Structures are given as C-alpha cells and as structure tokens.
Structure 1
Amino acid sequence: MTSYLRILLSLTALGFFLSGATAAAQLVDKKGLTLEVAKKLAAAAEEEAVKNKWTVVIAIVDDGANLVYLQRLDDTQIGSIKVAIQKAETAARFKRPTKVLEDAVAGGRNVILALPGALPIEGGLPLVGDGKVVGAIGVSGVTAQQDGQIAKAGADALAKILGR
C-alpha cells in the first residue's frame, strides 16, 4: 500500500509541476503592446496633429492601463499631460472609447461621473489587436473632438501594422 501511495503522490506532484510549467508558458507567451509599436502609433497621431497645426500630448498605455509611452508636442499646455494619460487609462480600463462615456453623461447618465478612474471626455480609444484590447491611446490639447480625431489616427495605425 505504501508503494501505491508513493506512486500516487509522485504522479500528483508531477501533475502540479506540469500545470505550473503550462501556466508559466502562458504568462511568457502573452502578447502585449511593445514600446516600438507604441512609438509608431504616437508618430501616426503626431502626424495628424502636425498636419492640422495642433499641439497635443499623446499617451499610450498597455492593457492594464500602465503608461508605455508619452509624447508632448512643443508648446502644449502642461495640464494636458495628465488628461491624455487619464483618457488612455479610461479607454483601457473600460474597453471602450471615452466618447461613449461622454455621450452617456450628456444623455443624463451622471452615474458615469462616479466611476473610479473614468474620464468621460472624447480623446481616448482602446487599441484592439487579435480581437482583444491590448492597450489604449489618449490625446489632449485641443478640443475633445480634435483630440478624438488624433487618437483615431494613432489607433488606425495599429490596424495597418497588423495588416488589416
């Protein structure tokens, strides 16, 4: 009976070991938003801003709303730094454009204003790759609609990078 118990315990331990290796492989294999890609998205957004002679801050966060890249064009107001970051964080956390939240507030859904970490102002867009939100871009410095236009240029660049 003791040899049977030893075999059973050995197999159980092996199972835990192998399942841990699989979990570790999944963690390592997770595809995320790289700095290189974030810079390309910011460059596309910057191109849209410069074309229109707009000065803005561009923030790009990963799927956990952690800042990956920040760019402030010359002469952009300092206050736009935090706003751009918050727009990107909101789009990543809620997995939707910040304009959706802005429209909800405009439609009387004031409860949106009480959501922790939500900035319901247009200019934040989720970045979607392979059907999943891999991050978000936030822009601040001009009107909310113009911020949204610049953010869209950055988000559209991801589709081009992914070949879509």
Structure 2
Amino acid sequence: MQRVIDAPAALRAVQAAIRHAATLGVRVNVSVVDTASVPVSFARMAGAPLHSIDIAVDKAYTAASFGLPTGRWHAALQSHSEAVRAGLVLRPRFVAFGGGLPIVERGERIGGIGVSGGSEEQDTEIAQAGLSELGLSI
C-alpha cells in the first residue's frame, strides 16, 4: 500500500501556510491532496479570490500527480515536442505556474500542496511554509 499524507499532517501544513500568508499580507486558498489527488485538507482565508479556490486545488493535484513543483513546468516542457508543450497545458486541472509543490517524505511522494491568491512567488513561498511545518522541503 502506498503511503499518503494523513489528515493531521495536512491540517498542520494548511495552518502553517495560512499563518505565513498572513505575515505576507496576502489572502489565499490552500489545498492539500494525497497521491491520488483526493482532498485531505483545505482552507480559504476570508477575502481570498474565489477563482483561486479551484486553482489551489488544481496546483496541489498537478504537483501530487507529476511530482514536480508547478513553477518548474515551463522549463520542463522545453525538452518536449511542440505537441506535448501545446497539449499538456490544455489538459483540465493541469497548472504550469508557481504555487504547487509535491509533498515528499523520505523519498516517497505522499501528496501535494497548492496555494493560490498571491503572486506565483508568494504562493510558492506560502506552500513551502506548509512543507516546512512538516519538516519537509523541495
């Protein structure tokens, strides 16, 4: 059986991400999913953009399913054919900009975290704060 992030860890990651977003003065949505991209925890800060709800979930989904931070997709796609570069970004739920990070523990992917509502850099920093709470990093 594949290990996945559990609810207590996911909740801690979301809470840490929300705390960090508050220190940056941004309002975000934070999603944590397991390796099957099933939601484990989610929070929306008051005033966070409504469209960012789905974007946060999709960033977590993309990071968990591919094991690559969403902000690295632009560079990663450069080594692929034009068809892959054009087609992959059109896939439903695929996000190719910053704010989604895989959750990897002892070399094994156990989920993903997605943040949306700030800039790409802020969203990525906030997601990393969630990982840091778990003693993890990318």
TM-score by length of 1: 0.73
Q: How far does the alpha carbon of each residue in 1:72-130 deviate from its partner, in whole angstroms, 9 at most, with x for none?
A: 00111110100000000000011110011133458984444145542101000000112
What SS does structure 2 have at the residue aligned with 1:93?
helix
CA 1:117/1:78 → structure 2, altered by over 3 Å: closer, same or farther? Answer: closer
Q: Which residue of 2 aligns with 1:148?
A: 124
CA 1:103/1:35 → structure 2, altered by over 3 Å: closer, same or farther? Answer: same
* Residues 101-110 or 147-156, more deviating: 101-110
Relative contact order (alpha carbons < 8 A, sep ≥ 6): 1 or 2 greater?
2
* Residues 95-104 or 128-137, more deviating: 95-104
CA 1:84/1:31 → structure 2, altered by over 3 Å: closer, same or farther? Answer: same
More helix by share: 1
TM-score by length of 2: 0.86
Say whether residues 1:72 and 2:72 are aligned partners.
no
What SS does structure 1 have at the residue aligned with 2:135?
helix
Name the Cα RMSD after superposition.
Answer: 2.0
Quote the Cα distance in structure 1 between the aligned partners of 2:3 and 2:125: 27
Offset at 1:144? 1.1
Q: Which residue of 1 aligns with 2:106?
A: 130
Aligned amino acid, residue 131 of structure 2: A
Residue segments in structure 1 that go unaligned for 5+ positions in a row: 1-26
Larger Rg: 1
What SS does structure 2 have at the residue aligned with 1:159?
coil
Q: Which residue of 1 aligns with 2:8?
A: 36
Offset at 1:42? 0.7
